[in-house]
A and B are shown apart, each in its own frame.
Chain A
């Protein structure tokens, strides 16, 4: 019981990270219908920028307290968003309206580029960072087993919820959000109605990258080690989450992320750690076979 509760806590905090990345996938997919394969690597860049910021702060002796973490978050978000913007501008925009496979291959190419760029510029070695927020609170004690909610986990859950709340407001309440949803429905029509679709798509990438940066920072704080390759698996799982939740649906992405995080955690805890990725992917395959539009996805009617 206590053990399960601990897994639940771990699963939720991991799921939040997947959810944040998944939102980026789902947004881009919703608006231009492409799998932005490089999104996982954007997350990785976000983690690296957060790490570099932390090292800068620590060099200046300012690496402690909430202000430092906030600073890490903001700087990582800003620079990562810039990466997102550039990517869209340089690699995806020229291919707008082109064949479906061209942007996908471009995205795969970009993913290779980003991974190797970081490998070259930051080195291939794993980067460890000491814990910023050690300790936690004891939730429950059952015999010898202590259920702990670490401060980092609290931070992850709190920050993710806050970021998602802001993001939801952005999408539902602002003109930008309206423009995004309009482009999602029908880009040509939106353009005819005077929406600057290029700008809207750019902003979608920027927002997606910023959310990925939040996820990257949280990942860094939680696990304390990153390398240039973390983006691939996290990216694939986040995409899985997006599909599981119903691609194109923002709440779906978060829900899917949570589910993948929970499945993975519980599977590792009760069955085998080695096969945890198999569990996540098998769930994906099963969902798609029996529930092709995901959990919250819109039913896609095949008009003949």
Chain B
């Protein structure tokens, strides 16, 4: 693990600066700053309603932040100001995400879900649909390649035998895994940053274990991860760094072991302030 001093600029994948998100009178995210390093798993934890999902929604372009900046640093490329981009462009610049309440395409098969994720690649290969309708020869090869990618991720998530089942009919744990597989398919060669919103929610201990292993594999493949999670077992085991939010504010940002013993964090989780909205 790198000491804080070594958190150099060139190692950053995501930089969140002074991010604020207000809904009417409610400040869901309040001047939050942190950085996530490339090749690391950065966990984002905090009690219910702390603003974690809202932060994700700002990063992935579903909400436009009231103030502050979000910057994506990809190796060999200029930094991208995510807070200025439309949602679908953020995804195209290499940020993938999953949702707290699973959002698959329930009436489409697992395989189709993963092909939709590769839409932009396939669309280009199909000559923006016109070519492929007229029988462009490049398209079938591109589709075969896309199916190969999908097959790889189905295998990695133990879903290969369910490839032709509708996503909506899969068991809960399988749906969670499929959503991760889909996010991983969304950029050619895998996304630069994967944002997971409570991927272990509703999983049994064995499934959580498997999930942790999957995330470590993904990290090893070169995708940095931003992880919202309530399951402290998973968080402590796999994250490299933990950012803690409470009432929209960042109250801690440290290595897992340090966070665990931080009195402010303990207080936040026990709700000592007592003044709930």
Binding site for B on A (CB under 8 A): 301-302, 304
A304 to B52, CA, bound (A): 12
Residues from chain B with Cβ under 8 Å of A301 in the complex: 23
Q: List 6 A-B contacts (CB under 8 A).
A: A301-B23, A302-B62, A304-B53, A304-B57, A304-B62, A304-B99
Residues 3-57 (chain B) with a chain A CB within 8 angstroms: 23, 53, 57
Which A-chain residue is minimally distant from B99 (CB atoms)?
A304
Quote the shortest CB–CB distance from A48 to chain B (angstroms).
44
A301 to B57, CA, bound (A): 13
Residues 116-160 (chain B) with a chain A CB within 8 angstroms: none
Residues from chain A with Cβ under 8 Å of B99 in the complex: 304
Residues from chain A with Cβ under 8 Å of B62 in the complex: 302, 304
Binding site for A on B (CB under 8 A): 23, 53, 57, 62, 99
Residues from chain B with Cβ under 8 Å of A302 in the complex: 62
Quote the shortest CB–CB distance from B215 to chain A (angstroms).
22
A150 to B62, CA, bound (A): 55
A301 to B53, CA, bound (A): 15
Residues from chain A with Cβ under 8 Å of B57 in the complex: 304
A302 to B99, CA, bound (A): 14
Residues from chain A with Cβ under 8 Å of B53 in the complex: 304
**Which 6 residue pairs are nearest across A and B when measured between Cβ atoms?**
A304-B62, A304-B57, A304-B99, A304-B53, A302-B62, A301-B23
Which A-chain residue is minimally distant from B62 (CB atoms)?
A304
Which B-chain residue is minimally distant from A299 (CB atoms)?
B24
Which A-chain residue is minimally distant from B54 (CB atoms)?
A304
Which A-chain residue is minimally distant from B97 (CB atoms)?
A304
A301 to B99, CA, bound (A): 17
A132 to B259, CA, bound (A): 82
Quote the shortest CB–CB distance from A3 to chain B (angstroms).
44
A70 to B186, CA, bound (A): 67
Which B-chain residue is minimally distant from A302 (CB atoms)?
B62
A302 to B23, CA, bound (A): 12
Which A-chain residue is minimally distant from B56 (CB atoms)?
A304
Residues from chain B with Cβ under 8 Å of A304 in the complex: 53, 57, 62, 99
Quote the shortest CB–CB distance from B54 to chain A (angstroms).
9
Quote the shortest CB–CB distance from A99 to chain B (angstroms).
12
Which B-chain residue is minimally distant from A301 (CB atoms)?
B23
A119 to B218, CA, bound (A): 68
A301 to B26, CA, bound (A): 14
A304 to B99, CA, bound (A): 7
Which A-chain residue is minimally distant from B24 (CB atoms)?
A299
A27 to B145, CA, bound (A): 52
Which A-chain residue is minimally distant from B60 (CB atoms)?
A304
A302 to B57, CA, bound (A): 11
Quote the shortest CB–CB distance from A293 to chain B (angstroms).
14
